[in-house]
């Protein structure tokens, strides 16, 4: 496959969020590519397109997909949507696709992603944020869209103009997004949401909304949120006072979702707990405090991961 003039946006990672965002950008008229690290799977996706199931039926979105980053050179924007434990590998892999001065935007779950990317890409080119869209991976290149959310991002290195230019590409494709100067706050708030919802759903098998149906679980959800928020504040973040209400609201908005951690655990895949609850517990130790709920839940998820791999 040749690429005489590159792509406007290159999505890295053909998981649920990667496939969904690549499809949305393509549907929005952006010249987009999808970078995988497995060539056989890339060939399958390139042949079949991305299949998106949504209310009202399913659509097939043609996509250029390859495991050769250079096939997409020069990409003007890369959007990293691999699992947090694959960030380093993805940042290295994407380098051959990047045109001069290209922006690299991470919308991954977890803390520490943009810092790892900035170890490979010039920091001023790195953007970071979150997406609140929901998606479930149904098979290779096949996703169910579980609600269109908002992308909030910015430059952790003060490159506001670069963030605004990237927002134009995303909004031009019909994606709702907001540029913010408080990147750390956005990332921490999402990490707190994930630290509360993901392990509870992963360990119980419940959907996000069902966490609110059980008063004991609802109380646990609130307790984790408060604990993680205290760590964020100790780490110098400004955290919203109403974080418990925010987390409960996310449960309602994504009520039918199986969280990404539940999806990973059920599929026998490694989860991102080391970069969410596990990382919050680590940051708590840095501040000479403890985060017993985050620690315990992360340990339980790791144990469940090992059990799943042994039995699957």
Any idea which residues carry the catalytic annotation? 190
Using CB under 6 A, pick the residue from 250, 265, 280, 297 that binds ligand KPL: 250
In the bound complex, what is the minimum distance in angstroms from residue 192's beta carbon to ligand KPL? 11
String marking each residue 139-178 x if it binds ligand KPL according to CB under 6 A: ----------------------------------------
Q: How far apart are CA 303 and CA 42, in angstroms?
A: 32
- How many residues would you count in the chain? 312
134 binds ligand KPL (CB under 6 A): yes
Given a contact cutoff of 8 angstroms between Cβ atoms, the answer to whether 27 and 63 are in contact is: no
225 binds ligand KPL (CB under 6 A): no
In the bound complex, what is the minimum distance in angstroms from residue 261's beta carbon to ligand KPL? 6
Using CB under 6 A, pick the residue from 166, 225, 254, 298 that binds ligand KPL: 254
Place of tokens 């989860």: 271
In the bound complex, what is the minimum distance in angstroms from residue 170's beta carbon to ligand KPL? 18
Using CB under 6 A, pick the residue from 136, 159, 225, 257 that binds ligand KPL: 257
In the bound complex, what is the minimum distance in angstroms from residue 193's beta carbon to ligand KPL? 6
Using CB under 6 A, pick the residue from 113, 259, 295, 298 that binds ligand KPL: 259
208 binds ligand KPL (CB under 6 A): yes
193 binds ligand KPL (CB under 6 A): yes
Using CB under 6 A, pick the residue from 82, 197, 206, 247 that binds ligand KPL: 197
260 binds ligand KPL (CB under 6 A): yes
* Tokens describing residue 158: 């003060």
- How many residues sit in the footprint of ligand KPL (CB under 6 A)? 12
* Residue 224 CB contacts under 8 Å (≥ 6 apart), including other chains: 195, 196, 199, 200, 277, 293, 294, 297
Would you tell me how many other CB atoms lie within 10 Å of the CB of residue 249?
12
In the bound complex, what is the minimum distance in angstroms from residue 111's beta carbon to ligand KPL? 13
Stretch that binds ligand KPL, among 57-65, 86-94, 193-201, 215-223 (CB under 6 A): 193-201
* Residue 45 CB contacts under 8 Å (≥ 6 apart), including other chains: 14, 19, 34, 36, 63, 65, 140, 141
- Give the residue with the Cβ less far from ligand KPL, 120 or 207: 207
In the bound complex, what is the minimum distance in angstroms from residue 249's beta carbon to ligand KPL? 11
198 binds ligand KPL (CB under 6 A): yes
Using CB under 6 A, pick the residue from 109, 125, 159, 271 that binds ligand KPL: 109
| Residues within the interface to ligand KPL (CB under 6 A) | 109, 134, 193-194, 197-198, 208, 250, 254, 257, 259-260
């Amino acid at each position: 496959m040749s690429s005489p003039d590159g792509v406007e946006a290159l999505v890295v990672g053909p998981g649920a969020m990667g496939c969904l965002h690549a499809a949305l950008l393509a549907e929005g008229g952006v010249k987009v590519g999808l970078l995988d690290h497995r060539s056989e799977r890339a060939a399958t996706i390139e042949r079949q397109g991305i299949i998106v199931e949504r209310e009202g039926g399913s659509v097939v979105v043609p996509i250029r997909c390859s495991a050769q980053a250079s096939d997409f050179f020069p990409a003007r924007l890369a959007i990293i949507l691999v699992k947090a434990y694959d960030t380093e590998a993805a940042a290295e892999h994407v380098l051959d696709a990047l045109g001069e001065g290209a922006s690299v935007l991470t919308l991954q779950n977890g803390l520490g992603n943009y810092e790892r990317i900035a170890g490979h890409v010039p920091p001023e080119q790195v953007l970071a944020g979150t997406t609140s869209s929901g998606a479930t991976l149904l098979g290779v290149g096949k996703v169910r869209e579980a609600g269109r959310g908002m992308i909030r991002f910015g430059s952790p290195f003060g490159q506001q103009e670069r963030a605004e230019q990237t927002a134009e590409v995303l909004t031009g494709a019909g994606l709702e997004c907001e540029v913010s100067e408080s990147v750390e706050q956005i990332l921490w708030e999402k990490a707190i949401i994930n630290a509360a919802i993901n392990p509870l759903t992963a360990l119980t098998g419940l959907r996000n909304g069902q966490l609110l149906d059980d008063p004991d679980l609802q109380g646990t959800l609130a307790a984790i949120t408060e604990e993680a928020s205290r760590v964020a504040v100790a780490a110098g973040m400004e955290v919203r006072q109403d974080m418990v209400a925010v987390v409960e609201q996310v449960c309602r908005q994504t009520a039918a979702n199986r969280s990404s951690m539940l999806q990973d655990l059920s599929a026998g895949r490694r989860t991102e707990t080391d970069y969410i609850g596990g990382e919050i517990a680590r940051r708590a130790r840095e501040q000479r405090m403890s985060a017993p709920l985050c620690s315990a839940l992360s340990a339980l998820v790791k144990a469940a991961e090992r059990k799943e791999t042994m039995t699957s």
